[in-house]
């Protein structure tokens, strides 16, 4: 690796990262509104919302790959690279510690910051590797969860890989596979453009108004914005919820599982609204595991299914506490 001066930032890339932040705001706002029962607690579990979240995460990781290629186009600045990696790693560790304190049953053990840090490290030797080989590695990373999925990887030590048969309980889980493949896709596309000359719209774009300027600023300070926005959202919505109260009328009609679960909960220890919120959360988690939901409906749950549902229950109690 050669030592190089930091390359000039492209405002267009910062603006794209700023747009990804806007998408992240929208996704997290939906979750926070559901958490405080200002909208239906079931809304965050809707397939469209979950898909939107995956798309937002993928956009960030594509830009990680693009930024790695741009930053190393004249050689790798080792000092800058390791400094950036240290900052992101420290931030990821802080997120894990904070969420473990707040949500021990569903803390963030390998979220998007963890994925960015490890993916950046693994991508380092690929910055000068032939593109065909990088493309082969990217394809392998993208399809690995489909081809290698196994219960062997359901052990907690392997959760970060993303090859297990069940999704672990976490408020943000972005496993290395397939997301490392997304980072490499951004790296490949940008290296391909660099080899042919970056288009003028990318190199010459400048913010012309306050809105575009705000996107550029956010993109340049994306880690700071990421770390700060959720505490702000939660503090504001907590105060709103205290004033207006939960909006039970916005919730959809309960299915039989939720109704039965709520009745059982109320018979043991809980109030109606608290029990219903927990049961809506459990229903949403089970529905994401379609085979388990089908066996639940047909009353054919296996012992392993019941263990999984017990885990969902603990997670949902922690979330709605």
Q: pLDDT tens across 38-80, in order?
A: 887 778 877 788 899 999 999 999 999 999 999 999 888 999 9
| CB contact burial 122-133 (16+ within 10 A = b; e otherwise) | ebbebbeeeeee
Q: Could you tell me what percentage of the chain is helix, strand and coil, using 3-state DSSP and rounding each to the nearest 5?
A: 75, 0, 25
Q: What's the CA gap between 155 and 176, in Å, rounded?
A: 16
Rg, the chain, Cα only: 22
Is the pTM higher than 0.85? The answer reads no
User: Does the pLDDT of residue 254 top 90, yes or no?
Assistant: no
- Ranking 6-15, 105-114, 160-169 by mean pLDDT, the lowest is 6-15
Residue 321's pLDDT band (cuts 50, 70, 90): low
Percent of the chain with pLDDT over 90: 55
- Ranking 32-36, 202-206, 311-315 by mean pLDDT, the lowest is 311-315
SS3 assignment, position 208? coil
Contacts with 247 (C-beta within 8 Å, 6 or more apart), sequence order? 37, 38, 39, 40
User: Does the pLDDT of residue 2 top 50, yes or no?
Assistant: no
Biggest alpha carbon–alpha carbon distance for the chain? 69
Give 86: exposed, middle or buried? Use CB within 10 Å, 0-12, 13-18, 19+: exposed
User: Tokens at residue 92, please?
Assistant: 């990821």
User: Does the pLDDT of residue 112 top 60, yes or no?
Assistant: yes
Mean pLDDT, residues 227-253 taken together: 78
Contacts with 68 (C-beta within 8 Å, 6 or more apart), sequence order? 120, 123, 127, 183, 186, 187
Report the pLDDT value the prediction gives residue 168, as an integer from 0 to 100: 82
Residue 35's pLDDT band (cuts 50, 70, 90): confident
From the list 98, 115, 100, 104, the residue with the least C-alpha distance to 159 is: 115
Residue 166's pLDDT band (cuts 50, 70, 90): confident
pLDDT tens string 127-158: 999 999 999 999 999 999 999 988 899 899 99
* Whether 289 contacts 297, CB under 8 Å: no
Residue 1's pLDDT band (cuts 50, 70, 90): very low
Which of 103-117, 128-142, 155-169, 197-211 is predicted most confidently? 128-142
Mean pLDDT, residues 78-102 taken together: 94
Contacts with 259 (C-beta within 8 Å, 6 or more apart), sequence order? none
User: Does the pLDDT of residue 309 top 80, yes or no?
Assistant: yes
Report the pLDDT value the prediction gives residue 261, as an integer from 0 to 100: 84
User: Does the pLDDT of residue 272 top 90, yes or no?
Assistant: no
**What stretches of 221-302 show up as alpha helix (H) in DSSP?**
222-244, 256-268, 272-288, 290-297
User: Does the pLDDT of residue 306 top 60, yes or no?
Assistant: yes
Peptide bond into 178 cis (omega under 30): yes
* Whether 222 contacts 21, CB under 8 Å: yes
Kindly state the helix (H) or strand (E) to which residue 25 belongs, with its residue range: helix 11-35
User: Does the pLDDT of residue 249 top 60, yes or no?
Assistant: no
Give 7: exposed, middle or buried? Use CB within 10 Å, 0-12, 13-18, 19+: middle
Report the pLDDT value the prediction gives residue 305, as an integer from 0 to 100: 81
SS3 assignment, position 73? strand
User: Does the pLDDT of residue 3 top 80, yes or no?
Assistant: no
């Amino acid at each position: 690796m050669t030592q190089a001066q930091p390359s000039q930032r492209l405002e267009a890339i910062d603006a794209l990262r700023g747009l990804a932040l806007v998408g992240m705001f929208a996704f997290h706002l939906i979750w926070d509104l559901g958490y405080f029962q200002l909208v239906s607690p079931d809304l965050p579990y809707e397939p469209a919302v979950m898909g939107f979240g995956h798309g937002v995460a993928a956009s960030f990781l594509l830009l990680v790959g693009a930024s790695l290629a741009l930053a190393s186009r004249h050689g790798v600045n080792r000092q800058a690279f390791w400094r950036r990696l240290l900052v992101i790693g420290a931030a990821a560790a802080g997120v894990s510690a904070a969420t473990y304190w707040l949500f021990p049953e569903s803390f963030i053990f390998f979220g998007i910051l963890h994925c960015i840090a490890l993916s950046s490290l693994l991508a380092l030797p690929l910055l000068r590797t032939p593109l065909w080989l990088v493309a082969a590695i990217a394809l392998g990373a993208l399809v690995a969860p489909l081809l290698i999925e196994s219960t062997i990887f359901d052990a907690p030590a392997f959760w970060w890989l993303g090859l297990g048969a069940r999704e672990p309980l976490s408020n943000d889980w972005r496993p290395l596979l397939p997301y490392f493949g997304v980072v490499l896709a951004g790296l490949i596309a940008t290296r391909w453009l660099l080899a042919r000359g970056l288009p003028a719209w990318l190199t010459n774009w400048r913010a012309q108004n306050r809105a575009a300027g705000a996107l550029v600023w956010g993109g340049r300070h994306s880690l700071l914005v990421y770390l700060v926005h959720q505490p702000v959202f939660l503090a504001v919505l907590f105060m709103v919820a205290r004033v207006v109260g939960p909006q039970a009328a916005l919730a959809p009609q309960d299915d039989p599982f939720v109704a039965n679960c709520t009745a059982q909960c109320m018979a043991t220890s809980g109030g109606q609204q608290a029990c219903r919120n927990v049961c809506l959360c459990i229903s949403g988690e089970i529905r994401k595991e379609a085979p388990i939901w089908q066996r639940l409906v047909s009353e054919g749950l296996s012992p392993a299914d019941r263990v999984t549902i017990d885990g969902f229950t603990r997670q949902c109690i922690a979330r709605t506490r």
